[in-house]
Structure 1
């Protein structure tokens, strides 16, 4: 099964992606400015045919791409992932017009996408969003907007977005944002709508944030930004499902990103402990070192297998995808943190020097335990799904 072993063609493709990342993407990444969108890197990802695969392949393929890119060039991995995260709602829920306008440009790297869910006071608790989508009563219904709202004849066809978003990757440089806003106050998760908002809409501004990892991340301010029914992704008040569906796909691939970093750290450690002379022999000959590298390899492989299993479950439409996705992200990101930390320890002071691979990975590896649902949120999802399954089984047995 692909959940536990890859086909020779898949292994060959992963090797090809790693080579492309090292030879063609890493040089472009090194020329980029930390904290800024690297459009040359995105264009090359499009030229290599990797960005189009975001919309033509399944979850396992996405995981293999992210793991392979992360092993050689984390910047390229992140650039690809953010394009997918921001544009997947358009691919899965957009109208023909939305898809025709944006997906070809996302695929060739000429348009930058962003996923705008988190807020200053609503990060992991996505149901607590406060960005307000208030009906725009001054804007009359027009033909296209009225037609696209046929299923919601009693609702508005135009809104004004007012509020803040924060910790948004690719902000404020993205060309469009998938924005989640509250259309029904007091309704929790049931009152959120997803909107496709081009960056040039009046009232939309943003500022970059200086973060530990060198990714483009910023805050967005919405000052009565106009949107209509033509900008809705999916259905009004059903945006929470758009968000969770996107995260269920991308959470295992965050795990794949983590596995790629862990493997890079492990490979560097194997090479270093083989070459390094200490205490009258090679570092690898010390039992304490050998046992640590064995533990690093064990945990990395276990995380890899769980990521592949979760991705395969998604591709097969299994009913337990939320639990598997949460488990895969949780295990892989926590594992990568452990492996990179151990690798730094075994390398010693040289790994802390600016520009060293492990210094880079040490900064990169921390954020995935927070974004797209922190580790604590993943544990909550897992527990909720376990008890939901138990309750359903008990109810079925008693009926």
Structure 2
């Protein structure tokens, strides 16, 4: 795996040390890629081991038992890239601890952080984020799950679907509608613990790259008042702030998949002969390798620019994170497709790494904002910046 990018000015020495430690850890604990194993057990095992060895401390802040005062987005991105390079479920298990508990890390009270975050950091508790619904995926404003105050807390009713860690999580951070305010203004954020009466996981969902996914149901699920994160009406703000931290790390995971695909392609073209000549010696192969390497570096620049910008204190990095997520996931799809092509018939054989990567990458172009939604976000942010600088002049007819 190419490590030269670690010398880029985006990183500090502690990031380079983290990358070296994670490389060693992943080579030891995440090298075996057995998709026939029980995915629930695999994910639980990764969470336990990552927690035991201290890496889950990256997913929560220090006042919740984590390693850093605030979430270090560059560290999160590096971890995702390295883990994804070795094993998709290792990356999945790691990031869901952060994404699932992110609203608590960012907006929780000190008591809420003490209650729900240490278990995430040490791997004894598995976290999940429940936003998506049958009619509300990227469109968070369309959430219809309802929380109704009942005097002692809230009663939650509704359905969530495509929920990562659904069925194995110990705690779920849920975005629901509270009150009659329309759109984004009526949303709130709650923590629902597994085993709460009225909460169930009636269905597990099978997808092309095995991951623990489920459909959640809430039927008069009683939520204590102390489980409300932030204030009523802040649910959309909380959700978007969480995505601001973690959306660019989706690009980092895609980057890890792409780097692995390039390495697998290089290994293959070095040994495969076609018409008594190494595949690597053909100019068509060299052109394809050049495209793959360039797209990987371009992705890395966008991913780590977004992470660096957030770590430098920017309130919002919506545009940067959306660019990173959109470009890196789409580029990784192209890189992995090229690797499959270079592997030939073996490339579509189940159990071969590039075939596994081909299935792994597809979902990343959808979750945490589809490519199409991210394009709308980027365009909106770009146009808003233009109007802020030139709006008055353009309205007056000036060029």
The residue that corresponds to 2:198 in the other structure is: 203
The structure with higher relative contact order (CA 8 Å, sep 6+) is 1
Distance, in Å, in 2 between the alignment partners of 1:70 and 1:300 is 14
Residue 388 of structure 1: CA displacement? 1.2
Matched-pair contact (CA < 8 Å) for 1:25–1:44: no
> Match of 1:16?
21
CA distance in 2, matches of 1:358, 1:38: 21
Q: Deviations over 1:199-258 (max 9, x none)?
A: 111110112111111110010011011113201111111110110000011111000000
Structure 2 counterpart of 1:171, from 135, 146, 166: 166
Q: Report the equivalent of 2:266.
A: 270
Q: Aligned to 1:225, which of 218, 221, 227?
A: 221
TM-score computed with the length of structure 2 as normaliser: 0.90
SS state of the match for residue 165, structure 1?
Answer: strand
Q: What is the number of residues matched between the two proteins?
A: 380
Matches within 5 A, 1:55-70: 55=60, 56=68, 57-70=71-84
Aligned-partner Cα distance in 2 for 1:355–1:188: 45
2:52 alignment counterpart: 47
Q: Which runs of 5+ in 2 are unaligned?
A: 1-5, 61-67
After superposition, residues 332-371 of structure 1 pair within 5 angstroms as 332-371=328-367
* SS of alignment partner, residue 55 of structure 2: coil
Contact kept in structure 1, 2:11 and 2:74, CA below 8 Å? no
Where does 1:317-396 land on structure 2 (aligned, <5 Å)? 317-318=313-314, 321-395=317-391
1:165/1:220 contact within 8 Å kept: yes
Contact 1:129 1:181 in 2 (8 A): yes
Q: Which deviations, in whole Å up to 9, do the C-alpha atoms of 1:16-73 show, x marking residues without a partner? A: 3122112123459768413666212211011121101112241111111111111112
Distance 1:366 1:272 in 2: 23
Cα 1:184–1:103, aligned 2, differ >3 Å: closer, same or farther? Answer: same
The 3 A distance-change label for structure 1 pair 172 and 74 is same
Residues 35 and 126 (structure 1 numbering): CA distance in 2 closer, same or farther, change over 3 Å?
same
Give the drift of 1:96: 2.3
